[in-house]
Amino acid sequence: MVESNGAELTEHEAELYDRQIRLWGLDSQKRLRSARVLISGTNGLGAEIAKNVILAGVKSVTLLDDRKVSEEDFCSQFLVPQSSVGTNRAEASLTRAQNLNPMVELKADTEPLESKEDAYFKNFDVVCLIGASTAQHLRVNNVCREANVKFFATDVWGMHGYCFADLQKHEFAEDVAKYVVVSKLHEKPKSETVYSTVKCTLEFPPYQSLVDFDCCNTSYARQLKRNGPALPVQRVLQKFRDEEQRDPAYVKREEDLKKLFQLRDTLAPELIPDKSFDHVFAQISPVTAIVGGVTAHEIIKVVSQKERPHRNMFLFNPETCCGFVDIVGADK
């Protein structure tokens, strides 16, 4: 069994989190109660992740964002009031976020992600980056690996979304079912399901494995046929952000689509149809709810060390309106 970290819950906390304790156990809730989480990027996706993590009862959540609230945020960002246009997005999210769970310590950091020293990220147990460039993904991921901090990179572009996890070497407890025959000799066969908790370990590759992944490799053809072009689309959209220093904008739709097609023809020729880029603008609320819910659930599983985490990339396919888990850069 995964060992507890020794944190204790107050009587009020035990009452507040009673349903969760019944679901995943007291030891897991104690681990959650001592976890410090950093969420960089408080757009609609960041708000969804923050909501779920705060309700789970972690120790603290820091919202890091230097951007201002815009009208585009109201597509999916439910933590900022409409009167907050032009103010800092992290600070504008604090009041509603705190009302979700007054027992969680919340902090807004208005400095840019790029300005943060490496030591800053070592103060957390989980770091989740949203809307970051590839350079920042790689930098922060390397810092997290050195400090044994769990790392998540996630994003939503319109109807497309993903979550990448680097948990390094992760230990967790998993309930395994066994069927035991309880009938006696010469009786009708009868069995019962018995659950036992076992300790498991998984190894995760770094974010560099996603950067280096070749979608055109013939070994990926079968997965591409089964799951669709969600992964190649993600790589194209990330490349667009790196080169343009922004995400595709609806007001520049024709210009941005032309750029996306050029990147597609370079990175993933003949793999992505034109229609895949029809809905990559802003953040669509139902998609942020799905991707944000999955990401937050993975953070909760990782911190509580309960249940097997996704290894190592979740992708949402808008063509089927379904999500799937793919293994990128790791042995299956």
> Does residue 161 sit in the same domain as residue 181?
no
Percent over 90 (pLDDT), the chain: 77
130-168 burial code (b ≥16 CB/10 A, e <16): bbbbbebbbbbbbbbeebebbbbbbbbbbbbbbbbbbbb
Dump the DSSP string for 218-242.
Answer: GGGHHHHHHH-SHHHHHHHHHHHHH
Q: 255 lies in which domain range?
A: 213-277
Question: In the chain, how many domains are there?
Answer: 3
The per-residue pLDDT for 2 is 37
pLDDT band at 172 (very low <50, low <70, confident <90, very high): very high
Q: What is the dihedral of CA 61, 38, 242, 276, to 10 degrees?
A: -60
- Give CA–CA dist 229/324, Å, rounded: 12
Q: Are residues 177 and 156 in the same domain?
A: no
Q: What is the pLDDT of residues 115-155, one digit of tens each?
A: 999 999 999 999 999 999 999 999 999 999 999 999 999 99
Confidence (pLDDT) at 22: 83
Q: Is residue 1 part of a domain?
A: no
Q: Does residue 93 belong to any structural domain of this protein?
A: yes
Q: Mark whether 77 and 96 lie in a shared domain.
A: yes
pLDDT tens-digit map of 224-270: 999 999 999 999 999 999 999 999 999 999 999 999 999 999 999 99
75 and 25 in a common domain? yes
91 occurs within a structural domain: yes
Question: Looking at the chain, which runs of residues are DSSP E strands?
Answer: 36-40, 60-64, 105-109, 126-130, 150-157, 160-166, 169-181, 191-203, 313-317, 322-326
Say if residue 142 is in the same domain as residue 49: yes
Within-domain flag for 332 = no
Task: Report if residue 101 sits inside a domain.
Answer: yes
The Cα 108–Cα 65 span in angstroms is 8
* 8 Å CB contact between 45 and 154: yes
Position 5 scores a pLDDT of: 54
> Contact, 262 vs 294, CB < 8 A?
no
Residue pair 229/256 in contact by the 8 Å Cβ criterion: no
Question: Does residue 140 belong to any structural domain of this protein?
Answer: yes
Structure tokens at 112: 């840019």
Both tokens of 108, joined, read 């807004």
Convert the pLDDT of each residue in 321-330 to its tens digit: 999 999 998 7
Give the model confidence (pLDDT) of 36-85 as tens digits.
999 999 999 999 999 999 999 999 999 999 999 999 999 899 999 999 99
Please state the pTM of the whole predicted model.
0.92
Residue 2 located in a structural domain: no
Same domain, 181 and 233: no
Of 202, 226, 246, the residue at which a domain comes to its end is 202
Q: In this structure, are 28 and 161 located in the same domain?
A: yes
Backbone angles phi, psi at 264, to 5 degrees: -60, -45
For residue 5, tell me if it sits in a domain: no
Main-chain dihedrals φ then ψ at residue 209, nearest 5 degrees: -65, -30
Say which DSSP state 71 is in: G
Tokens read off for 250: 């609806």
pLDDT tier at 3, thresholds 50, 70, 90: very low
